[in-house]
Every structure is written in C-alpha cells, then in structure tokens.
Structure 1
Amino acid sequence: MATKTRELNPIDAYLAKVADPAAKKTLGALRMQLRTLLPGATETISYQMPAFKVDGNTVAGFAFFKSHCGYYPFSGGVVPQLKAELDGYTTSKSGITFLPDEPLPAKLVKKLVQVRLAEIATRAKKPAVAKKPVAAKKPVAAKKTLVTERVTDAAVKEATGRDWKAWMRALDAAGAAELNHKQLVAHLAREVESRWWQQSISVAYEQAQGKRVVGETAGTGFQVGVVRTLPMSASELWERITTQPERWLGTGATLKLKPKTPYEVPKRRGAPGVRGEVRVVKPGDRLRLTWHPDGWKKPATLQFTLVPKARGVSLTVHMENLPDAEAREAMRERWAKVVPKLAQD
C-alpha cells in the first residue's frame, strides 16, 4: 500500500523558500509568537503571504521581499492607531517595514494583534440595520472579477504610489502591451517590491487590454514613461532635481518651485528651446509641469515621482499629451539618458 505524502503547511512552504538566513529566522520567530498570541488561529496564505485567521477574519500577516520584511494587520486602521509606538519605522496605512536582522519587538507585535482583535470585535458588535421588506427578491449581483473592481484605487495607491488609472497610463507608456505576463511582472518588479502587487497590477493591465490603444489614449494622447532606481536617498535626489534643473531641463534653465510659475530653457545648438509652467510641487514626492518645446503646437505634461526604496530611490519620469509617436520615442530616449546622470556627482 502506497504511503501518502504529508502535505506541507502553507507557511512552512513559504518559509522554506526564503533564502535569506536572517529573514527566515526573524519570520520564523514572528510566526511562533503569533501562534502563541492567537491560539486556534488558522495558518494560511493570503495575498501571497503567510497569514493568521481567527473566525474567518485575517488578523496578521508577514512577508519577506528582496531586502526587508513586512508585517500586515490586514486593516487600514491599526497602524494609524499605533503611530506613537511605530515612530522610527517605515509604515503605510496597511503595514510596517523592518530589516531582517532587526525584528519587531515582541511587545509591539502583541499590541498590533490586540488592536486588530479589538477592531474586529467592535465591528462584530455593531447592530444590524433592519431592512425594509421587498415585494420580490432582487437578482444577486454578479461577482466582481476585474482586479480594478475588487481592489480599490485607494488601496493600490497606498501600496504602490499610483491608482489604477495612473498604472494603466504608465504601463501603456512603457510599451507593456507588447510584453507577455512573465515579462510584465519582471518590469513591475523594478518599481514594486511586493510579489502580490506585481501580479495584481499585471492581471489588471492584461484585463484592460482591448480597451486601449498602445501608446495613445483618448484623454492623454501619446505617452512615455521611464523608471530607474538610483543609489541615493529620495531627499538627495529631490534636491538635485529642484536646485540643479540644468541637469534635466537643459543648459541655462532656471526653475522656481511654485505652482503657476513659468520657466524657460534657451535654445542651443542641437536642442530646441523649451518653455512651460510649474503645476504641482510635493516636496520629496512629486513635481509636475508642462513641457512645450519650440515647434510643438501644444504643451505636453511632465511628471517626476520619487518612491523611496530599501536601497535607493525609484524615479519615474512620465510624459503625456505628446504630439505623435515620433515625439514619444524621442522623449523615451532623452529621459533614458538623463535620469542616470542625476545620480552622478
């Protein structure tokens, strides 16, 4: 009689694939603490990460990325409540980032779990609102199958820095429609560290195909995007962009960081003059302005977006409302050369 192979616990399987020794040790210890704090909880995989569920509610989860670990309470309300306790950590509304060799203190993990359990209990105690009787049953709405319907704009923007519309535009501009699924995920991995978000954005973009024209949309014309991770901090890069505009605007350029302020770059041999207006300034995060070279009938829009990473900063340069495909390719080539130079001393 053949012996049945024992099925591996999903979290055991996840940890077995973690190659970083420090991360494996830290996450293993975190798992054991969660087992103690949540006796009887179900160990599972949710959003491609180990998670603990109690009575159907996900209470805690953790994951390892390329260079850091993350703790996730599966709620947007827990981290904000513990703002004081989390001072010094890199956080978002949905999670906490920490280094593999610097595990979260046991007291902090206990507090995170307690706050999440209290949140679930409070929600369960809310009285149900009586429904008015209806003459006939309404048809049950079809289950949402599109990723963009199941995952809100707020959630994707909180986790990745862009909402769904912005992701669709950026991927169109990068020529992602020509990539297969594996290539698309690899492309996203340069900017998005979470494997779950890489997959979700890839599927959402693939679902959207057939509704767009590659490189051009009805509302924003021809677009282009260039993404690079530079070996410097976000503050250092922001300072270079804003105090040394000649590095990216061109020789002789001056720039005042104030919305509705015009700027101009003088014409020089081999390059047309450029004029425009500053539109949005979010220090350390985003700069948006118009871009109107000599010879173009209408201005394009140029945006710089900075996203801090574990080792450096990701810079996305995105342009839209370009006049034609030729201009799009010229801008793609231009920014591919200019962006790396921003990191040079």
Structure 2
Amino acid sequence: MATKTRVPQTIDAYLAGVPDPAAKKTLTALRAQLKKLLPKATESISYQMPTFKVDGSAVAGFAFFKHHCGYYPFSGSVVPALAAELDGYVTSKSGVTFPPDQPLPAKLVKKLVQTRLAEIGTRAKKLAAAKKTLITERITDAAVKEATGHDWKAWMRVLDKAGAAGLPHKQLVTLVGRDVESGWWRQSIAVAYEQARGKRVVGETATTGFQVGVVRTLPMTAPQLWTWLTTQPERWLGPGATLNAEVGGSYVAPRRRGNPGVRGEIRVVKPGKRLRMTWQPDGWTKPATLQLTVMPKAKGASLHVHMEKLPDADVREAMRERWSKVLAQAF
C-alpha cells in the first residue's frame, strides 16, 4: 500500500522538508528576500507551494522539484513581459525554473515582484474605472423610460421581484423580453442588472466567466495519453482520486493539506479525444467547467486543459499554475 505524501501546512515545514541542502539554502534566502519586498504579505501554502499574498492576491510563490527550483508569479503575463531579463532561464508563461545551487539574482526577483504588483494595481484601477462605464450611467433614466416604460430603478425592482438574481444571462434576457421588443434594449437592461447586482465584472463574459487554458505535448501516443487520463486520475487530480469516465459518471479528489477536495460530474465523453466535466472544490457555491482534449502530434500527443466559469482572476491564475505544474510533473 502506497504511503500518502503529507503536504506541509506552513512555509517553515515546507522548507524543513526540502531534501536538497543547496535547494533549502536557496529557497530560504528567497523567502527572506520576499519578506523584505512584501512586508505586508501573508505567507501560506497554496497549491502545495509557499505563497506570498497581498490583500488576497497571490504575488509570488516558489517550490522545489526533484532536480530544480521554481519561481511563480501567479500570472500568465509577468514572465513573458520580462522575457529579455529572463533570457537564459527555462521558463513557461507561468514560471521560471533554475538549478538549486544557482539562485535567482536579487535584482531579478525584485523585478518579478514589482511587475506582478503593477499588474494587480492596474487590474484594480480597471475595476474602479469600470464603475464609470456602467450602462446605467451611460444611458439616462429618461432614455430608458421612454423606450421601455421603466427607468433604471424601476427595472431593478421589477427584475428583483421576478427572481432575476438567480438567472443565467440568456434566461434574464428572455425575462426582459416579455416587456421589451427591441433586442438591443433587452441586452442593455439585462447587462445593466447584472452589473448592478455584481454578476458581471470587467474581464468576464456572460457565458463562460473567467477562462484559462494550458497546453503541453507529452511523450506518448494519443491512445496512451487517453488511457492515462481515464485510468490514472491520481496522476492529474491528486492522490486518492477516483474517476468514472462515462457520461453521468463522477470523480472525487480527496482534500489534502494545502489543497481543497474537488468533485464533479462527467458531462461529455468523446473516447480517445475529449473529457468535459464540472469542477467544484470544497467551499465553491457554483462549479466551473473543465475540459481535457487529446490531440495527436508528429512526436507524441498534446493535452489541452481548458477551464471556464471560474469565479475571479485570482482563481484563474491559480488554475493556470496548477495545471502547468501537473503537466510539468506528469512524466
């Protein structure tokens, strides 16, 4: 019977468990530098790695693997933005890897942190600016009342009373359409209501929410990759995971220290090609959607991981990091 790997609950415990002396020294020094750069940050273990968060947003993380260390800014744009500075390092969109005995230069770490903080600040400014572009501010009460019979406050009351807060976008548009003939006005009123009730934010689409995709070509044939997905769920969902890869079937990944449990239902199965399922970690009120697509290549096969309906941008980046790490460690 295999022994379950215990995930450390603190950064101290994580570092204590690093078996490579050079890696332990390098990551301990990196942690000290991050503490100086981010004095107000909260330290935690997220997705099995030491993570520094500022006001709830992950800014920096690091990890040790069998032969290398990794630095992760929890963003898909920070590493590409610093391509010139990172020339010579092994990188992906979501991270940088380096030998245990060759720490990242302090100036480079500082640049990575500053770029991530600037990105978070820009996003906050965009969200604040979005308040000035609300439909209810762009279209006057007089205009909406003349066209539809209600001003904005009246529409909010009518839709609240009709239970619109729990409706998806298409059903909300249909509800508005009972009293409004114009398709343009139906959409405008529906979006205005979603904005007013916090159901729609910048960067989110009405149908798919926040999305993320990760692709990796693996050293196996497409049939072998499909078999791996459907018969070894513990390799990509985590230790103890179970999967019934049939339409209507389910999967469960038990809770582990540092990671919530996840469960879901299989919605689409195209043998040898695609799995589509819900994705609902412990504590989520609504599930996201996960799709895994296998595509044959001249050398090996690629696995496309795509997620939709994620709750916010931070979760999107956390999922990007999760799947990048899973695929990097798969073989």
The two structures have a TM-score, normalised by structure 1, of: 0.47
